[in-house]
């Protein structure tokens, strides 16, 4: 059973219409469109075929048809027409992202905001994954009697620090020495390897160093691992209310609760961190709660390294074409900004 060209055209028309309105579309509505010159009866026949092929679904006996997951998949893969972003949108992204350029986190926040504003969906942004970046240097600074600040400088220019309470006072030269030892061991390694290297490489060192370093490492491991929840920034969580099909309090509540368990979102995004783009439609998601939601993600880079990802989540009937171009442009913009902000040519 093959699909005719006209049927394909009708399918696309149905998807477009359904994405726009969220209401199952009927044959008569379609037949009135200017670009369709066949009668409603003909369309009905085609629709019946498409339904048989698994591309359309009927919510109930005499409602119109709505696209199935299979249809959306086809749409995303081949049918949809990705147009350029409008001048306004481009301007909006540029201004918003540049305006907020003072801290790394602000870029993340601004991205979330921009995405949700442009797409009218809930946006998810994952902060740069430090475990993917090579370390350049570790520097330990004495802050007060029992506190030191461990500063991690990464090759991309990102700087991260952790405040640590230490059991006893240490003097500055000792910390400097420690910094040097650590830096030597970890330079050009990624965090996971660096941790292993230090743990193993410590065997030969003095016992007093060892205890201190262990504590240092533990704290770091803890604060890195513990970041999973913190690393996910959301935008436009209320946007779901714009969709009539989520006017139901129960449904909306479910969705919003899902967003609160950021670990799930974190997993979704990290898992997608290797692909430039991913589109998960409805049941294609492994998570049952997401069975009628879609997630579209993209990644952003520093120096060619994919270090984080971002995307949107919403009803399956989202405007994939538009979202695709938005994500593409926003991703490119983030790259630009990060390169500029982090001054990544800095190779001291």
- The residues binding DNA (CB under 7 A) are 6, 23-29, 37-42, 44-45, 47-48, 51, 58, 60-65
Considering only 33, 147, 208, 274, the residue that binds a second copy (CB under 8 A) is: 147
Rounded distance, CA 160 to CA 288, Å? 36
Please answer whether residues 122 and 240 qualify as being in contact, where contact means their C-beta atoms are separated by less than 8 angstroms. Answer: yes
> How far apart are CB 21 and a second copy at their closest, in Å?
19
Q: Which does 335 bind (CB under 5 to 8 A by kind): DNA, a second copy, none?
A: none
Q: Which does 238 bind (CB under 5 to 8 A by kind): a second copy, DNA, none?
A: a second copy
Rounded distance, CA 11 to CA 6, Å? 8
Residue with tokens 């007060």: 144
Q: Does 339 bind a second copy (CB under 8 A)?
A: no
Nearer to DNA, 27 or 123 (CB): 27
Nearer to DNA, 25 or 112 (CB): 25
Q: Which does 252 bind (CB under 5 to 8 A by kind): a second copy, DNA, none?
A: a second copy
Q: Which does 6 bind (CB under 5 to 8 A by kind): a second copy, DNA, none?
A: DNA
Q: Which does 153 bind (CB under 5 to 8 A by kind): a second copy, DNA, none?
A: a second copy
Nearer to DNA, 60 or 203 (CB): 60
Q: How many residues bind a second copy (CB under 8 A)?
A: 42
> How far apart are CB 238 and DNA at their closest, in Å?
23
Q: Which does 41 bind (CB under 5 to 8 A by kind): a second copy, DNA, none?
A: DNA
> How far apart are CB 68 and DNA at their closest, in Å?
14
> How far apart are CB 321 and DNA at their closest, in Å?
23
Nearer to a second copy, 86 or 254 (CB): 254
Q: Does 159 bind a second copy (CB under 8 A)?
A: yes
Q: Which of residues 235-294 bind a second copy (CB under 8 A)?
A: 237-238, 241, 247-249, 252-253, 256-257, 260
Quick one: tokens of 152? 């991690």
Rounded distance, CA 223 to CA 161, Å? 10
The torsion angles phi and psi of 10, rounded to 5 degrees, stand at: -65, -40
Q: Which does 48 bind (CB under 5 to 8 A by kind): DNA, a second copy, none?
A: DNA
Nearer to DNA, 68 or 139 (CB): 68
User: Under the rule (CB under 8 A), what is the footprint of a second copy?
Assistant: 102-106, 136-137, 139, 141, 143-147, 149, 151, 153, 157, 159, 161, 163, 165, 219, 222-223, 226, 230, 237-238, 241, 247-249, 252-253, 256-257, 260, 341, 343, 346, 348
């Amino acid at each position: 059973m093959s699909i005719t060209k006209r049927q394909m055209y009708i399918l696309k028309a149905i998807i477009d219409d359904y994405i726009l309105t969220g209401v199952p579309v009927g044959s008569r509505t379609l037949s009135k469109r200017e670009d369709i010159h066949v009668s409603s009866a003909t369309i009905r026949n085609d629709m019946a075929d498409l339904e048989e092929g698994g591309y359309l679904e009927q919510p109930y006996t005499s409602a119109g048809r709505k696209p199935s997951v299979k249809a959306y998949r086809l749409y995303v893969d081949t049918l949809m027409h990705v147009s350029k972003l409008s001048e306004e949108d481009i301007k909006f992204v540029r201004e918003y992202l540049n305006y907020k350029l003072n801290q790394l986190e602000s870029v993340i926040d601004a991205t979330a905001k921009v995405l949700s504003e442009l797409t009218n969906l809930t946006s998810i942004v994952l902060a740069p994954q430090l475990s993917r970046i090579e370390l350049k240097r570790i520097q330990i600074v004495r802050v007060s009697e029992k506190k030191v600040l461990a500063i991690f400088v990464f090759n991309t220019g990102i700087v991260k620090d952790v405040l640590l309470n230490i059991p006893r006072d240490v003097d500055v030269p000792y910390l400097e020495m420690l910094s040097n030892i650590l830096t030597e061991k970890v330079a050009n390694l990624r965090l996971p390897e660096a941790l292993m290297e230090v743990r193993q490489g410590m065997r030969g060192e003095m016992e007093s160093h060892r205890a201190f370093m262990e504590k240092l490492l533990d704290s770091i491991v803890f604060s890195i691992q513990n970041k999973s929840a913190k690393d996910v920034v959301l935008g436009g969580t209320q946007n779901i209310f714009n969709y009539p099909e989520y006017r139901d309090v129960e449904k909306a509540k479910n969705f919003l609760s899902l967003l609160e368990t950021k670990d799930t979102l974190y997993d979704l995004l990290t898992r997608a961190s290797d692909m430039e783009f991913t589109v998960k439609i409805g049941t294609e998601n492994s998570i049952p709660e997401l069975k009628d939601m879609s997630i579209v993600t993209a990644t952003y880079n520093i120096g060619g390294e994919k270090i984080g990802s971002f995307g949107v989540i919403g009803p399956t009937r989202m405007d994939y074409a538009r979202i695709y171009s938005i994500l593409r442009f926003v991703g490119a913009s983030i790259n630009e900004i990060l390169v500029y902000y982090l001054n990544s040519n800095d190779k001291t």
